[in-house]
């Protein structure tokens, strides 16, 4: 048996719903200890309850009074792509908007060109490096969307790379099919014909070959409208895929209402969500995944109404949206700080948003997202004495140790494996 005890945990932040109370909203145990067995959490409690002699075959680690959290979960990324769009950064500084740049030949389609040309080996190496960087920042589960192929062959190429990485990457990877990320150049002006192709050709194969867990659509003016998004998502559901939707990023098109009505697992972005949209998310049990890094990076002044969503009882998750155009931030810790500073989210809500709610946004809450007996032993240790410091110390990576399915790595070990990503 592979057993590990971590003891002397100053704050063991379980985020276990069964331990949460009004006075202890994150189910925190002070001076805690945790036991992992064969990749699973076997015991959680107070350090004083443990008698070391009862566990002669365990490995022991001392947390030195630091803070242990569930492994962080980044539930919305576009991590598989080739090339870069550094020129767009400068265009935005000169006052051009994201949509203007896309219309002028930049945007998603520029990355599509580079990604179509890349070999699976190149894409795999790039993506693996990016995932390793995320792990060294405390992220143990990453959702990755396709959507820079936009033709049958290139979408499958990306999803197959992800499938292979799923077995070999040091983080858990959740693949999402997003063939409807943009209208490919071959279908310009014929969006409905591309939707036919997505529904009749791409989705059935992706689902049959089990290349993705979710299907996502960019429901936005100039991309896919609500009727087209509905058709794609309903087809995806019929083929057994779970649903996500990019909704109300640049305007209120009604995507949130659609997501709620279809009981999608999550609706993401939501900067312009209406009150009706919020009510629909609540009714549909849909997680609102907010991506404040994108507003920050695109210099949009209005952020998603996080506090309003929370007050309405919608579970709020936070993610990076890491991609080469609208948000190159791969650091979920920075996103957490932005959520506090730009959306006024309290630290307690921010921590739930990258653990239990992010797990829910991936339909994995039964397996991860809290330090609960029976769940996967994914945990991260930070060199702080109170979880609030994780937000307060904006811009520093205070991570010291990561446990992925019970396997320990120090941050130094993880960083030693990083290579430059081009
Ligand atoms: O979530 N909104 C659509 N997709 C990304 C942007 C992707 C890109 O610009 O390459 C997003 O913001
Ligand atoms: Fe996105």
Spans of all domains in the chain: 3-71+370-416, 72-361
Q: Answer whether 79 contacts ligand 1 (Cβ < 6 A).
A: no
Ligand 1 mutation pick, 182, 218, 328, 330, max ligand atoms within 8 A of CB = 218
Q: Consecutive 10-residue runs of the chain (422 residues): their mean pLDDT?
A: 92 98 98 97 92 84 97 98 95 92 91 98 97 98 98 97 95 98 96 98 98 98 97 98 97 97 98 98 98 96 97 98 97 98 98 98 98 98 97 95 97 92 62
Q: How far is the CA of 321 from the centre of ligand 2 (A)?
A: 5
Does this model's pTM top 0.95? My answer is: yes
- What's residue 145's pLDDT? 98
Q: How many Å separate Cα 135 from the centre of its chain?
A: 12
* Residue 416: CB atoms within 10 Å: 10
For the CA of 325, the closest atom of ligand 1 is 9
Domain 3-71+370-416 has CATH 2.30.40.10: yes
Q: Which two tokens stand for residue 50?
A: 């443990």
Residue 256, C-beta contacts closer than 8 angstroms, at least 6 positions apart: 247, 248, 267, 270, 273, 274, 277, 278, 280, 281
| Ligand 2 is an ion; residues with CB less than 5 A from it | 321
The predicted pLDDT at position 56 comes to: 81
Indicate the top mutation candidate among 76, 78, 268 to test ligand 1's pocket, ranked by most ligand atoms within 8 A of CB.
78
Architecture of domain 72-361: Alpha-Beta Barrel (3.20)
Residue nearest to atom 2 of ligand 1 (CA): 218
- Beta bridge mates, 73: 141
Supply the residue whose CA is at minimum distance from atom 3 of ligand 1. 218
What is the Cα–Cα distance from 172 to 189, expressed in whole angstroms? 38
147: Cβ below 6 Å to ligand 1? no
Residue located nearest, by CA, to atom 5 of ligand 1: 326
321 lines ligand 1 (CB under 6 A): yes
pLDDT at position 422 is 59
């Amino acid at each position: 048996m592979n057993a590990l005890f971590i003891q002397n945990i100053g704050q063991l932040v379980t985020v276990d719903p069964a331990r949460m109370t009004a006075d202890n909203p994150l189910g925190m145990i002070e001076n805690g200890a945790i036991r992992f067995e064969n990749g699973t959490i076997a015991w959680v409690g107070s350090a004083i309850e443990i008698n070391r002699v009862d566990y002669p075959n365990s490995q022991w680690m001392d947390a030195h009074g630091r803070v242990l959290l569930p492994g962080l979960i980044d539930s919305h990324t576009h991590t598989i792509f080739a090339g870069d769009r550094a020129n767009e950064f400068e265009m935005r500084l000169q006052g051009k908007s994201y949509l203007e740049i896309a219309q002028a030949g930049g945007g998603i389609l520029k990355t599509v060109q580079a990604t179509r040309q890349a070999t699976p080996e190149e894409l795999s190496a790039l993506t693996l490096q990016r995932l390793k960087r995320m792990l060294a920042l405390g992220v143990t589960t990453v959702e990755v969307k396709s959507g820079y192929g936009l033709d049958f062959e290139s979408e499958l190429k990306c999803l197959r790379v992800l499938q292979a990485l799923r077995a070999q990457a040091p983080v858990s990877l959740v693949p999402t099919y997003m063939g409807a990320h943009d209208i490919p150049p071959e279908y310009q002006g014929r969006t409905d014909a591309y939707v036919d192709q997505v529904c009749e050709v791409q989705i059935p194969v992706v689902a049959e070959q089990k290349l993705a867990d979710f299907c996502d659509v960019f429901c936005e003016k100039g991309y896919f409208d609500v009727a087209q998004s509905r058709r794609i998502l309903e087809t995806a559901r019929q083929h057994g895929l779970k649903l996500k939707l990019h909704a109300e990023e640049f305007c209120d098109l009604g995507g949130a209402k659609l997501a709620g009505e279809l009981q999608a697992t999550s609706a993401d972005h939501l900067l312009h969500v209406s009150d009706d949209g919020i009510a629909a998310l609540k009714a549909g049990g849909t997680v609102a995944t907010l991506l404040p890094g994108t507003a920050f990076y695109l210099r949009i002044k209005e952020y998603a109404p996080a506090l309003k969503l929370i007050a309405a009882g919608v579970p709020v998750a936070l993610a990076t949206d890491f991609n080469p155009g609208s948000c190159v931030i791969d650091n979920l810790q920075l996103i957490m700080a932005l959520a506090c500073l730009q959306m006024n989210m309290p630290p307690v809500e921010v921590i739930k948003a990258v653990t239990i709610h992010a797990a829910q946004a991936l339909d994995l809450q039964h397996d991860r997202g809290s330090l609960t007996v029976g769940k996967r032993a994914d945990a991260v240790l930070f060199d702080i004495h109170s979880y609030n410091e994780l937000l307060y110390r904006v811009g520093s990576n205070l991570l010291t140790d990561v446990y992925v399915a019970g396997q320990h790595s120090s941050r130094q070990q993880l960083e030693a494996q990083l290579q430059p990503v081009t």
